[in-house]
Structure formats: C-alpha cells, structure tokens
Structure 1
Amino acid sequence: MSVITTRTALIEQGRWLTVQDCKRVLVVVHTVTFAQRLREVFGLLAADLRIQVVFTTAPHVFGNGVKEYLQELGIVAMPWEDALRTDFDLALAAGSRGVHELRTPVVRVSHGAGHIKLLTDTSLLAPGEARSPGMLSPQHLLHEGRVGPAAITYAHERDIAELARSCPEALPVAHVVGDPCVDRITAGMARREQYRGALGVAPGERLVTVASTWGPTSTFGRIDALLPHLLHQLPGAADRVALLVHPNVFAGHGAWQVRGWLAGCRGHGIALVPPEADWQAVLIASDVIIGDHGSLTAYGTLTDAALLLTPGPRREISAYSPAARLAATAPALLPAHPLAEQLDYAVSQFTPGQYDEVATLLSSAPGDFHRRMRSVLYRLLGLGEPASPPVVPPLPLPGPLERWETGASAWADTWADTGAVR
C-alpha cells in the first residue's frame, strides 16, 4: 500500500491523526490554470483547525504540470481513484470532468475573466439549442438531467441573468461572489512602481506585454506572424518585452517545446514568463498590452496599460462577455503596418479610464470575493465563520525579467518567489 493510499485510509478512519474531528474538504485539480484559481478558495480554509483540506488531481487533457505545481506548494495529492472512494464533507473544483462521480457535495468555482468561449462540442446540443459558455451550459452543470454541484460561484450578476436563459435549473445553487483577480489587480495598482522595479524595468523604459490564451486562434497560435515583428522591430532602446502564455499551451505542447519555438528570442530582450509565475504583477507593471480574446487581456483593462488587440474568433466568443465588449472598443493590430508605429499610436490615444466600461463587466462585487466566497463555503460545511476578516496577502514582488529568458535555461525556480493565480 502506497504512502498516499495509507494516508487516505487514515483520513477515512480518523485514527492516528493529531488533529481530529475535522470537516474534510477535497480540492479537485484538473489543470494548472484551475489550480491557480482554486488557490484563492482553499486558502480561505487553511488556518482553520476545524477543517482538513485534502487534494487530488483529476484526469484532464491539459493536466501536465499539475503535480509539480502542487508539490511547490508542499501539497501531496491523493490518487483520483482513492478520492472517488472516500467520503468528504465538501469538494472544490473549477472543472467539470469526473466530479459527478465524487461522493460529496461539490462547489464549482468559475475561472477566467467572465465566460468568454462558447461551448465547442456542438454534438452535445439539442436541435436548435443555442451555444453557451461552459460554466453557463447544461452540458457542464447537469448530470442525467439534474444539477450536479451543490453551489456554483460566478463573478457578476450578469452571469445569473444569462444562466436564467441557458440553464435555469442551476439558479437555486448559483452565487455571485466576484473575481479574486479583479480584487488583487485593483489593490496591486498602488504598488505598480515596486513591481516594475522588481521586474527590472528601469525608469523611462516601456514594458510591452504580449498576452495569449490557448487554441489555434490565440496570439500564440499565430505567433509565427507576430514573432518577426517582435524580434526585428522591438525591443528598442527603451522597450522591454514579456510574453504571457496560457498554461494550457505549456501543458499541451510541453514546456521544452514552447521554449524551443521561442529560443530565437534569447538575446533580444524578450522574456517568456513561466506558467506558474506572478502574471498579475506583470500586467500591473505593463505600459502596453498586446492581447487576444483571452482573460489576460480583459484583466488588462484594470491597469494603466494601453491595449492593442490581435484578431479574434468572433463567432466563438460569447457576445455578452467582457472580451466581446473589449474587441468592439480597443484598437486592432494590423500586420500591414510597422508594429512600433502601432504601439506608439495606441499609447498616444490611450486615456486613463478608457476601458472602465469593460472592467465593470468583470465583477459586480469588486473587493468582496474572499468574504463572499468564504461565506458560501462555511454555510455548506455547517460551520460558523472565523471571527475575523479573510486574510488576503498582497501580490508578492516578482523576479527580474532576465530570469525568464526564453531558450534552454531552466525557469522552475522562479516559483519560489511568486504565488499569484491565473
């Protein structure tokens, strides 16, 4: 019997544990992206001696890197098969795959900046049924015609209005709690100069961040068209460039391959930020963000950065999402014009507050995620909340961009200094 299986048995039997009679909460981690969002949630339970938090890694096509991510946090996950056979008081999950098999009530946690991408597998739709984003669709929320989760958390009241149209059966378990990334970025703006200094951006230098989601229509999916412009037109004497690439790109292709494709950037002052690193601090420190239809670009509306959008798949994006609203207002990057000129134009036309209308679509409870989320969890656990506000540490200072050079050099050690979520 393995160490992990033995530990599972001890949890089930309650023997030989120093802290006993705990409520048991299972955290189900499918991908690194989901783990980063869930960290904001399970962190709310960490200091409560009445609660034992246990982790498992569920099968997923983008599951590469999850075990390493958890190990960096000091977490050893139990096997998925053992988790399915074990009783818990509550489970937390950001993904849907396999969670209906658990023997416990499940809290589904939204991730990303709004619900952007429409359901891709249209074979699951009934004739004439409209496509909805995953966390708003019956295909992700119902199992055998019944609502699976005990609670589903959303960032905005508009999500509830959309849910009433797409999956009204889930309304009784839906909760608006806000968005932790909105809260952290908003609070972190006061430390912008500190983040720029920690990244090694000198006074007078311009930090250009290229933000990419995953998939063939993402910025990285078309990096062959953008990369020559970055290499030969940027960086100038006053430019620093950082690439923020979605963890699913690393998980799908492998970190070695992604670094290999970008090895030509080495020596050109272009840094590839590792998927575990503090991406929120990079966004806050940016002067310009070149982004696509992904969450990172939408979160960029909370910062003082000018935005420049790469072409996106309009038919694959929810029309009510922040990404769709941003695509209708932000300047578009055109390959026929020099990149440096387009960046200068975007900066000259940008005014503070230009994207406030988009930013307000990210959360209808700004500054209140951790309090609201904690209330949902403790109510489901049948416990009184701690008699103090949730402790939310500020974003840590990131490491210098020089440590994130592309190429063959290792970047795994950067996580030792960082701890934000994606």
Structure 2
Amino acid sequence: MIEQDKWLVPYGNGGGVGYTRAVDRVVLVVVHSVAAGQRLADAVSAVEEAASIQVVFTRPPGPHGDGVGDFLRSAAVLETSWQQAVRERFDLVVSASPTGIGVLDAPVLLLLGGTASGRLVDHQGRSGVAAIRRLLGRGGDPLLVGLPHRDDVEVVREDFPDIGRQAIVVGDPSFDRLVHMAGRREAVRAELGVQPHGRVGVVLSSRGPESLFGRSHDLLARIGRSRRGQADRLFCQLHPDVWVGHGRRQVLAWSAAARRAGLVIVPPWRDWLDALIAADYVVGDHGVVTCYAAALGKPVLLAHPADRWPTDAVLHGLPVLDPSKKLYAQLAAITGTRPRYHQITSAPHRSSALLRSAFRRLLKYQV
C-alpha cells in the first residue's frame, strides 16, 4: 500500500493539495496505446466505485504522437508520469500489455485479448510470451493473466504451462459494455441523427497492411457510392493506431473520395461502440470490433476471407463481400444472423464480477 504521506505529493496537483477521501489502495493502470486504454477503462470500471480505492493512470515511454496523452485527457483520469510511477510502490498494476512493466513495483494483472492460434501478444500485436516470463521471473509480487474465454486459458496452459498456471478467466468487459448498451440503440441512433426509417451501415477496419483500410484502397469509396435510401447513413470506424500511424490529415485525405460519397469517418476520440450499436449491417475485417459485431448478431460481410487471418472463430463461415455486386443484394442474404456470444467470451455479463474477484485476490482487499 502507498503510504498516505506519499499520496499527498506525487498524485496531487503539484501544490500539495492531497486527497479528500481516505485512500487505502492505489491501482496503477498502464496505457500503452489508445486501444489498450479503451479496454482498460472498461475493465477498471468494475472496481473504481469501491470506497478507498484510487485508480491512477500512466503512459510508458512511446513514440511521439501516439494519441495516449489525448486519450487520457479526454477520459478525465488522474494521471501520473512514468518517471514517478517507477519510483513508487503500488498495490496493483493493471495493463493490457506485458511490455516494459517489469520495472514497476507491484502485483500485476495482465488483461490480454484472446489467444487465436495460441498467441499471447503485446500492445503491438507481437508475441508477449518472453515479456510475461520476465514478469514471472521477478519473484515476490504475484501475477495473474486474465483472458476472456476458458478456451484461451486451456490453450495457454497447454502451450505455455508456466504462464498457464497464472491464467484465469475474466470475461470481456468491453463486449459486456457493448451488450449492455445495445438496449439504448434507438437513443444512440437519434444522437447520430439517424431517421427512424433509415438504415445504418458501419465499415470497420483494424490496423496493419492486412486490414480493410490497408488492403482495399478504394473499398470505402465503393461502399460510399453503393445505392441506398436517402435516409440511410454510412459510418467508418478505424482502429486508433491507423490515425496514430498515418496522422489525421493523411487519413482524411485517403478517405476523401469516400467522404464525398457520403461515408462518415468516426473520429478516434468518439466512443467506439456508438456506431456499432446503431448499425443495421457491418462490413469489416479480422479486427476485434468486427468479431464483436458478429457475436452481437449484426449482419456482417467480410472484406476478405477469414481464413487469411489467425483470428477468432466467430468470423469463420461469414460471407465475403463481392465488390462487383450490389451491396444491398448481398446484405439481404445475411439478415437474421444469430448472436454468438459464447465465441467471444465464456462468461457473458460476468466480467465485472470476475474482475472484482481478481482484484480482491491481488489486492487482498474487499472490493
């Protein structure tokens, strides 16, 4: 536990104001990227209402312009510098990536994504096995690796027994939030300016050269020009790293033809789930948000065959977009898709309870 006299200076406003409510435990959230920050914000919501627990965010060293600083400011979190974080003792560190956090003095809860093809990856999609093993080799402070599905845990236990002993199921807090917010669909559509009889299409792209935005240079414009009703709306949601890697001006320039055709590019600071909740159909790639759309039961067309990607089984068997045919004719054939919750998480609606249990285990504290 951080001593109370330390709390007065490092995490105040620089003037020694200190705390108003007594703080017994301090949880440090390490944000390596905007996408990781979005997931972690969903996860810590399970415990941040608990009395006497303060959640503090920090960003490790990274490339200039990675968007993390803007994300933290927009999220209105209490932030401390990485230099200060490495000097302090925390009660718990929570991260979506194992990279670089071995220098922090605390128990660690790693909240990783799924393990398609047995992968444990860091925030850049690279193998995180070596970094996790370095954390295990520290000795002393415990480590838990939280995964969304029991199948993920079984894969890790089989492929990496030393890491598997620390693996637990925590569900998927972001997907649970999406399911919960789906009940506000009509309100969200109204906020987006969608008329009651209008249809909403959403184009989703992950990051990297194999993504929809990376491979299909003119697909956005073709979708934008697709015949549709006057009241219909088309949105495009890009992975935050697309904006970080190329810059806002360049992304808008590359998407100019699509925007002229009526496609709205969702800015990276907008909550990612709004457009997805409002959607009547989705065109996507191998990214996790496309997986969420399919699991939620949205009609999904893939930009490219799913067997190209080591991705979640939820995408396999979904139809692939044929750009030579009319979009609406293809969409008509996939309406009525059934939800596939179980392929995203083995604990739907239970992530908050499972995360609180993991926090209690590591904090040794009732939350």
- TM-score (normalizing by structure 2): 0.86
What are structure 1's unaligned runs of at least 5 residues? 119-130, 386-422
Q: State the distance in 1 between where 2:112 and 2:344 align.
A: 12
Are residues 144 and 91 of structure 1, via their aligned partners in 2, closer, same or farther at CA, if it must alter by over 3 Å? closer
The residue aligned with 1:302 is: 295
- The residue number in structure 1 matching 2:130 is 139
Pairing of 1:23-172 with structure 2 (within 5 A)? 23-61=25-63, 64-111=66-113, 114-116=114-116, 132-134=119-121, 138-143=129-134, 146=137, 150-172=143-165
Code of the aligned partner of 2:211: S
**Counterparts in 2 of 1:109 and 1:313: CA distance versus 1, 3 Å:** same
Residue 191 of structure 1 deviates from its aligned partner by 2.5
Distance 1:63 1:150, change over 3 A: farther
The code of the aligned residue for 2:288 comes to S
Shift of 1:29: 0.9
Shift of 1:142: 0.9
Q: Could you say if the C-alpha distance between residues 9 and 244 of structure 1 is closer, same or farther in structure 2, counting changes exceeding 3 Å?
A: closer
**Partner SS state of residue 242, structure 1:** strand
How has the CA–CA distance of structure 1 residues 310 and 140 changed in structure 2, closer, same or farther, with 3 Å as cutoff? Answer: farther
SS in 1 for 2:191: helix
How big is the shift at 1:262?
1.8
Distance verdict in 2 for CA 1:106–1:375, change over 3 Å: same
* Change in CA separation of 1:307 and 1:47 when aligned onto 2, cut-off 3 Å: closer
- Structure of higher RCO (CA pairs closer than 8 Å, 6+ residues apart): 1
Q: Does 1:343 align with 2:328?
A: yes
SS at match of 1:142: helix
SS in 2 for 1:86: coil
The separation in 2 between residues aligned to 1:147 and 1:316, in whole angstroms, is 34
SS in 2 for 1:192: helix
Task: Tell me, in whole angstroms, the C-alpha distance in 2 between the residues paired with 1:17 and 1:193.
Answer: 41
State the one-letter code of the partner of 1:331: P
Instruction: Name segments (4+ residues, structure 1) moved above 6 Å.
Output: none
Deviating more after overlay: 371-380 vs 299-308: 299-308
CA contact (8 A) 1:217 1:313 kept: no
Structure 2 residue corresponding to 1:8, chosen from 7, 10, 14: 10
**Corresponding residue number in structure 1 for 2:345:** 363
AA partner of residue 204 (structure 2): A
Give the whole-Å Cα distance in 2 for the aligned partners of 1:253 and 1:164. Answer: 38
For the aligned residue pairs, the C-alpha RMSD in angstroms reads 2.9
Q: 2:189 aligns with which of 180, 188, 196?
A: 196
Aligned residues: 354
In structure 2, give the amino acid aligned to 1:33. A
- Counterpart of 2:358? 376
For 2:3, the equivalent position in structure 1 comes to none
Shift of 1:61: 4.7
CA apart distance, 1:132: 2.6
The match for 1:331 among 309, 316, 319 is 319
CA contact (8 A) 1:286 1:305 kept: yes
CA contact (8 A) 2:28 2:57 kept: yes
Counterpart-to-counterpart distance in 2, 1:212 and 1:57: 25
Deviations along 1:152-190, one digit per CA (max 9) or x if unpaired, are 111110011100122111223211111112222222333
Q: C-alpha displacement at 1:76, in angstroms?
A: 4.7
Distance of aligned partners of 1:55 and 1:133 in 2 relative to their CA distance in 1, 3 Å threshold? closer
Counterpart residue identity of residue 372, structure 1: L
Q: What is the distance in 2 between the residues matched to 1:316 and 1:139?
A: 23
Could you tell me whether the CA contact under 8 Å between 1:138 and 1:166 is conserved in 2? no
TM-score with structure 1 length normalisation? 0.76
**1:303 shift after superposition:** 3.4
| CA distance in structure 2 between the partners assigned to 1:267 and 1:38 by the alignment | 35
Instruction: Note the C-alpha offset of 1:193.
Output: 2.2
Q: What do the CA deviations read for 1:10-58 (whole angstroms, capped 9, x no partner)?
A: 79xx995444452121111111111111112222333334222222111
